Structure 1
């Protein structure tokens, strides 16, 4: 029950954080201020964070318990340390949140055999943290808005975690088939955090970074910097997720990437609306879900129509097939992996979860 409760709260908080890394909450400001202090000290005072989370979860599941009485040696108490050791600390470690080695109660300032009331004698430092800790415990004990309080802490911890740098693996000299398998696995994880649709775009951009140096077709051409995920809907003149311009700065080639959405004739028509006023030479419409076979004939007819009235060669294809082709053109696939990992590290649309998963996939090779 506690594990299920924690996972549900975590997943919901991940969705609330979204792509803007801001806490969404309507908790009273006086409560949020104290939680912010606890979050700001979460690395240096892991015990306080652990005790607060333990108290929150236990009170949520056992509303009649006075969670200020955190030890069985205290009258009408419960064993916060036991509950923490079994559920809270393992959870914190599993999601890469700040955590003690075994329990938050293995801290001298928190293990006093007296209730966590306003007279608590433990030497929690600094004084502002002690105030916030005891005020938060008092709020939890009242039993109001426990779900909002837990969500606030979870969101704050997720945001702090997302800001952490993580060293990503860059394996060398992999066969193309292995690279493709790694990419497919990385794209298709059921992520909780937003941003997975960005991964295929980054992979393709990484391939183009290599192709620009090796393919004669791109001599004298420029690969424009990849735009941020949040600006993609208002590209201010950009016609694809990836854009290449010629010597005069005019559109030469562009790519639009779909993740999990099969290509249909309507998508081809929609793409044409984006580039019909440009002189782009080729336009790729690629999807991780390939082409909708029931639409194949209509897609070909629409591509032919665009060719006749505009001159642009539209290529609709599965993204994985295109990546296989591009990788075969490269003299060194290690550069592609390096480019992809660099993009994963720096792209602001991606979260800690996406980066961690890459390392896990590499480790399981």
Structure 2
């Protein structure tokens, strides 16, 4: 008889990426079905691995069904996530029978040519281990070898087995041959679809994902850039956040307040080229670039403004005469780039209120204006987190 562990009604499975988990109200609900989908090979396996490992780190059991890698190979690759309890990460061996080799795993598919045997092996492992997370890597392996309708039937049966155990089940899938109507059916069986894409810019591969909840009025995100960090896992990664604003507003101080290590090229205490820093807070990693505020350096500003993820516009709240210049710099970036205004030096006598700044600059009502004191790191981190939420599309 299947053992189902007691669960709170609002139990959630965290992704390990705080800004996403917050938007997901603590993680993906249990039970639920995730489709990790792309049209071509990408890093969606990394998301599945990260999701499984995060479950183990939380003290839960994760079950991994891998049709492409031997369990010992997969375990070796998962060491990059750091030390985990091996007893909590259970594999269903789906490769030994393909290679006509004996299996060392407790749970294994003995006949890879039989969907019935595949189903029985996976369901038996679910019932015996009661995992909170199940990863099936990857369904195109089955679509390439069996009748489509039979595979879709198995897909549905695995969903039912996961739901009976109150588990989150993730199906990795690359579409090689299915028609749109078939994809629509697969999406309809899923509670969430996580899509992946890769692009190459300047010789650098950039990966991104977006999450869509299939329920009406469900959660939707923009394309979210991400990266992998050894021993940690997936992080939201913004390759270029621009810190800009008029002369002497405190841009370099903002960069130093956000980054543990920052560099600045300056002359006589004034930035003449740029500031640079790497930021890593609450699962968000960003490369931030500060530009000089003088108009004669506008060509540098235009270079760094290309392909930015978002902008932190720093203004001196005690100098209203600089607000037109600040607005001009926003216009140079473009209308589609998310931005947050930092009303810096807000602790000084004569500083404008955030409402007054928004009014004088004619800012849209949804643009945040955050009072900051960069010399004391006050408000700066909050501004970056707000910007991250705007870029991701969860605010």
TM-score range, shorter chain: under 0.3
Structure number having the greater strand percentage: 2
Higher helix proportion: 1
Indicate the structure (1 or 2) with the bigger Cα radius of gyration: 1
Structure number with higher relative contact order (C-alpha < 8 Å, ≥ 6 residues apart): 1
